[in-house]
Amino acid sequence: MQIDQLKVNGVSTPLGYHFDYLTFSWRFQSSEFHEQLTFKIEISKDDCFEEIVFSGVTDSYYNTYTVTTEFLEPRIRYFWRVSVDEVSATSYFETGKMYEPWDADWISYEEPTIESVTFKKTFSAEKKISSARLYSLGLGLYEVFINKRKVGDEYLTPGYHSYDLIQQYQTYDVTEFLQDSNEVTFLVGNGWYRGRFVFEGGFENIYGDKQKLIAELHILYSDGSTEIIKSDTTWNAITNEIVENSIYDGEIIDFSSKCKPLTVIMDKASKQLLRERIDLPICNMESLEPYIFRDTANNLLLDFGQEITGWIEGVLPANKPKVVFKFGEILQDGQFYSENLRTAKQEFVILNNEKERIIRPRFTFFGFRYVKVEGLNEAEARRFSAKVLHSVLEERFEFSSSHRKLNQLISNIRWSQKDNFLSIPTDCPQRDERMGWTGDITVFANTASYNMETRAFLGHFLKMVELEQEQLNGAVPFFAPYPKLADKDAHNPFLKSAGSAVWGDAATVLPITLFRHFRDLGLLKSHLSMMMNWVDYIYHQDEKHGGKRLWDFGFQLGDWLALDLGIPGTVFGATDSALIATIYYYYSASNTAKALKLCNDSRASFYSKLALEIRTALLTTYFIGDELNLIPVTLQSEVELNRQEMGRLFGGIDISTRVDTQTGLSLLLRFGIYPSESARLKLVNKLKERMIESGGALTTGFVGTPELPHALFESELVSEAYSLLFRETSPSWLFEVNMGATTTWERWDSILPNGKISGIEMNSMNHYAYGAIEDFVIEKIIGINLPDINDNTNTYTISPRYPSQLDFLSGKLETVNGTIAVNWEIQNENVKLRIDVPARTNINLILLNGERKALRTGTYQFSDVIFRNDS
């Protein structure tokens, strides 16, 4: 028996985090079978657990335990222990300043704004130091050094937040950094706070027009006395060599620039918004070495073989007047290419370097596979490697199979996740966008949470969503953080409106998805108001529009980027957007009812009733008897007329709206919206017709794509579902693989079969939305299905059904009780299946013939059953 992977709110040993609640979680592993076990959780201020400040027990199978936080005090390291029988494990978490007022002042400088500033303070410590903590926040982005050593291993701190609503400071244990005489140095750059950001050419000074810093260094001496070194006007400020920096454009360092003193001033900005971090650190997670070559235009290029998010680092030789690195995703005609980055320059420039040194940027990041190098020769360029940056998340799913291209697809999906999980879940990491689009993560959250322990990362994002929602009377914006640009001459409708289906539904889909994967009741409870506010927002508008329980008003994106209009390059799909919106209204009301029920909250009944009413409205609007109504009133509704107008205005096209598209039919089937079994069969037949019409290809966009393969499979159109997954010509996932993709594309035709990019207006090679196919591979092919949301017995269903395209497959999912492993192999029609069931886990194995087997802890081998049937 073993207990490990101790976490608090999804983070191991969180230092100086904000705790609205405490959810303790751990992994329990054992080779034996255990009936119910009772775990004891104890919290103490000392690591010997002499004085216990909290103690509780749980017999949950899910190894999580949530408690309220009234006993927490500021700046304390709490030790916690979880034990069962004779095994136990200990970890700790530490509080930040909590409600303590800040002694320090925000400081800035008097001179006109410069691109980057260095703040410094020297001081001596006259006594022996027992411990020291630094609490600090530099806005836009900062790095801190003590005695010239970088503090902490994180970059791009503090990350991207709604700085107008919350300002998250960091805590560092700097005990080992301090000496008798000390120098603390903060480098502060622009970042998202004041650098050019947001599409449409960008806006500057979004959150503030000058960099600023607040810092308190709390020193505890061995004699028990304390001292606080705090930011104030006794600090120095100077200019530094970073002469330009921005998220989109990159960084310019000029070593000939003379550092000039600046006048430090106190910034009177309020300290009210300061709060301990909940954003995870962004770290250098991997390094990649380049392949070096000359492109057809004789440019020197580094190819890292993988599209990543991050930067490069290496040894820059002495006496280099100008070195330029340009970052791009693809080659075109054998040449470096970057036009699809739109206005983002993505450059790292070093001027007037006179001595050999290690160099990297600090206040930017790039989405790239290729780097064009100017000013260095091949041997010099070889000394640079790529550093992969993303928020620190634990991986939990492993996959391999006999199908090389499928393996590559799963790898591409995982990379798009890593590359876009940088502080917030972004749409893409390279062009002038990189924003937290809510719709993209709504459709990808399930896959993301199989791949990684997403609790803290998405929990943090949801906090941003919630804060923005509070400003918008319940509406959820298209992206969070949501910069307030309406009064800055912003014209784009996305910057002036909020509250559309799928995008806004992140507010209910993410919390319920996180609960299904991680069973964190504290996290779920913290999201209840956000969930209710979102549904109430739709409901109130629905009431204003006559209480029809249809979401057929306002502004909708519909099935974004679908192909079914047949108009190349358009962003609009053919599916009735009122159908999509109303199904998501139903989904959100149901999610909210489920969440409230799980929290024993009686408000659940309102949302259950609402969900039922919406379902009834869907049935009466979209069906006549058992037949799908092909000309429902919604085709002429406000929302469709608006969308059609938008099509004409922004796309120059006419949208012909339909209900019986692949997307429309898949949604109806997946959400169980049909009046009878015979109506369901009619939907299935129609879906089959649509597949035949398209030659077996998908025509779906952001909304339909995650549902279509599941809908086909669940309708016994199994070979159609497999052909979709294994299809190799455009449009398909494996077409991207065939074209050499190492991440998933934004559009099905991002690159055309002739290798040419299909357009440059909105075309990224690194968008995760279509990566949602991975949950189909996990749930339908490997067949692992999570316990039902109300299940308390940790019972997974495994119903493997292997396609003829494969003859070997292995999937391993890390769970709170160890690894569920499914290993399947076929040799000469001889099937071997092995399933490893971890401790305290039940598996309901459903064979193809309907036979069920109950598996408990242990290893099971089967060779006598059929798991393959494509027809």
**C-beta closer to ligand BGC: residue 244 or 427:** 427
Which of 276, 440, 520, 640: binder of ligand BGC (CB under 6 A)?
440
In this structure, are residues 365 and 309 in contact, taking their beta carbons and an 8 Å threshold? yes
Per-residue contact track with ligand BGC, 384 to 423, x per CB under 6 A?
Answer: ----------------------------------------
Say which residue the tokens 């025509």 belong to: 699
- Min CB(681)–ligand BGC separation in Å: 34
Nearest to 308 by CA among 181, 420, 199: 420
**C-beta closer to ligand BGC: residue 763 or 857:** 763
Looking at 658-773, list the stretches that DSSP marks H as alpha helix, in order from N- to C-terminal side.
662-670, 677-693, 708-714, 718-726, 733-738
Query: Which DSSP state fits 643?
Result: H
**C-beta closer to ligand BGC: residue 224 or 652:** 652
- Min CB(557)–ligand BGC separation in Å: 5
**C-beta closer to ligand BGC: residue 458 or 816:** 458
Nearest to 174 by CA among 143, 154, 142, 145: 145
Nearest to 619 by CA among 577, 556, 546, 668: 668
Distance CA 416, CA 406 (A): 15
Which of 219, 243, 262, 557: binder of ligand BGC (CB under 6 A)?
557
Distance CA 594, CA 607 (A): 9
Our finding on whether 504 is near ligand BGC (CB under 6 A) is: no
Which of 42, 249, 307, 433: binder of ligand BGC (CB under 6 A)?
433
Our finding on whether 439 is near ligand BGC (CB under 6 A) is: yes
In this structure, are residues 438 and 326 in contact, taking their beta carbons and an 8 Å threshold? no
- Min CB(748)–ligand BGC separation in Å: 14
The answer for residues whose C-beta is within 8 angstroms of residue 707's C-beta and 6 or more apart is: 663, 666, 667, 669, 670, 700
- Min CB(555)–ligand BGC separation in Å: 11
Nearest to 276 by CA among 8, 44, 24: 8
The answer for residues whose C-beta is within 8 angstroms of residue 440's C-beta and 6 or more apart is: 425, 427, 702, 767, 768, 769
DSSP bridge partners of 628: 623
Q: How many residues bind ligand BGC (CB under 6 A)?
A: 10
Per-residue contact track with ligand BGC, 781 to 810, x per CB under 6 A?
Answer: ------------------------------
In this structure, are residues 506 and 591 in contact, taking their beta carbons and an 8 Å threshold? no
In the chain, % helix, strand, coil (3-state, to 5) comes to 25, 30, 40
Which of 376, 762, 798, 837: binder of ligand BGC (CB under 6 A)?
762
Per-residue contact track with ligand BGC, 508 to 547, x per CB under 6 A?
Answer: ----------------------------------------
Cα separations (Å) of 731 from 423, 735, 770? 31, 7, 12
Q: Determine the interface stretch with ligand BGC among 190-198, 396-404, 425-433, 533-541 (rule: CB under 6 A).
A: 425-433
Q: Determine the interface stretch with ligand BGC among 22-30, 392-400, 426-434, 717-725 (rule: CB under 6 A).
A: 426-434
Distance CA 16, CA 137 (A): 13
**C-beta closer to ligand BGC: residue 42 or 427:** 427
Q: Determine the interface stretch with ligand BGC among 47-55, 223-231, 434-442, 659-667 (rule: CB under 6 A).
A: 434-442
Our finding on whether 770 is near ligand BGC (CB under 6 A) is: no
Our finding on whether 437 is near ligand BGC (CB under 6 A) is: yes
Distance CA 12, CA 26 (A): 10
Q: Determine the interface stretch with ligand BGC among 403-411, 437-445, 453-461, 685-693 (rule: CB under 6 A).
A: 437-445
Q: Determine the interface stretch with ligand BGC among 322-330, 433-441, 635-643, 644-652 (rule: CB under 6 A).
A: 433-441
**C-beta closer to ligand BGC: residue 611 or 769:** 769
**C-beta closer to ligand BGC: residue 48 or 649:** 649
Count Cβ atoms below 10 Å from residue 165 Cβ, excluding itself: 17
Nearest to 550 by CA among 522, 574, 527, 582: 582
**C-beta closer to ligand BGC: residue 623 or 702:** 702
Our finding on whether 465 is near ligand BGC (CB under 6 A) is: no
**DSSP E strands, 454-556:** none
Our finding on whether 707 is near ligand BGC (CB under 6 A) is: no
**C-beta closer to ligand BGC: residue 334 or 569:** 569
Burial class (CB in 10 A: 0-12, 13-18, 19+), 587: buried
**C-beta closer to ligand BGC: residue 427 or 736:** 427
- Min CB(571)–ligand BGC separation in Å: 7
- Tokens at 654, concatenated: 């006419």
3-state secondary structure 336-385: EECHHHCCCCCEEEEEEECCCEEECCCCCCEEEEEEEEECCCHHHHCCEE
- Min CB(743)–ligand BGC separation in Å: 14
Residue count (the chain): 871
**C-beta closer to ligand BGC: residue 560 or 745:** 560
Distance CA 855, CA 539 (A): 44
Q: Which residues bind ligand BGC (CB under 6 A)?
A: 427-428, 433, 437, 439-440, 557, 560, 762, 767
